[in-house]
Amino acid sequence: MKLYNADLPPYEEDAVLLTQYLQENNMEALGKLYSKHAEMVYYVCLRYFKEEEKSKDAVMQIFEELITKIKKQDIKSFPKWLYVVSKNFCLMDLRSKKGRVEISVDEFVEFPISMHQEESYSEKEGKLSSLEQCIEKLPEKQRVTVDLFFINEHCYKEVVEITGYSMNEVKSYIQNGKRNLKNCMDRADA
């Protein structure tokens, strides 16, 4: 592999492309950067709009927004930032037609409750015993699914097969179980 040839289709990183655009107003760099993530943007739009053509249009509309927006903000993680911009774009669009579309937030899984899930190993150890106690207190269906999913690391499909519950039931038991567990743990902390 020739590493020094500047003409090579480069392994260009987000940060590099981003600085190229910010410092030299290099539209091509922004285009490359966006192309890398356009698929992600498309599927996020599709999740909200549920229409392919509208989502494709949205991908280009978001790119237009990006051209100016990107200069005004200190972006640490481009994909994360782009995701927020895309999602806001979709929500704003849907809100403008409020009353016609309902977005379910429960279709897949619950959004993360805590943004600070990074914990030190020792803290985790300390909590393990109270976690076990809390799991024991869960209603039967939640206890079984949580145990299978989080502890035994089975995927949803396997949990369905093992328990005989439907896919939606499994997802909802795991969600509710997780929420109950969190509440139980918070009480144990207090």
Binding site for another protein (CB under 8 A): 3-4, 6, 10, 12-13, 15-16, 19, 23-25, 27-28, 30-31, 34-35, 38-40, 42-48, 50, 52, 55-56, 59-60, 63-65, 67-69, 72-73, 79-81, 83-85, 87-88, 92, 98, 107-112, 117-119, 149-150, 153-158, 178
Please report how close the Cβ of residue 136 comes to another protein at its closest, in angstroms: 21
Residue 44 vs 184, nearer CB to another protein: 44
Single-letter residue type at 121: Y
Please report how close the Cβ of residue 41 comes to another protein at its closest, in angstroms: 9
Residue 60 vs 188, nearer CB to another protein: 60
Cα 63 to Cα 34, 88, 167: the distances in Å are: 7, 13, 36
Give the helix ranges, DSSP H, for the chain: 14-24, 27-49, 52-69, 78-96, 121-137, 140-146, 156-163, 167-189
Single-letter residue type at 22: L
Please report how close the Cβ of residue 125 comes to another protein at its closest, in angstroms: 15
Count of CB atoms situated within 10 Å of the CB of 140: 8
Q: What is the largest CA-CA distance in the chain?
A: 63
Residue 84 vs 188, nearer CB to another protein: 84
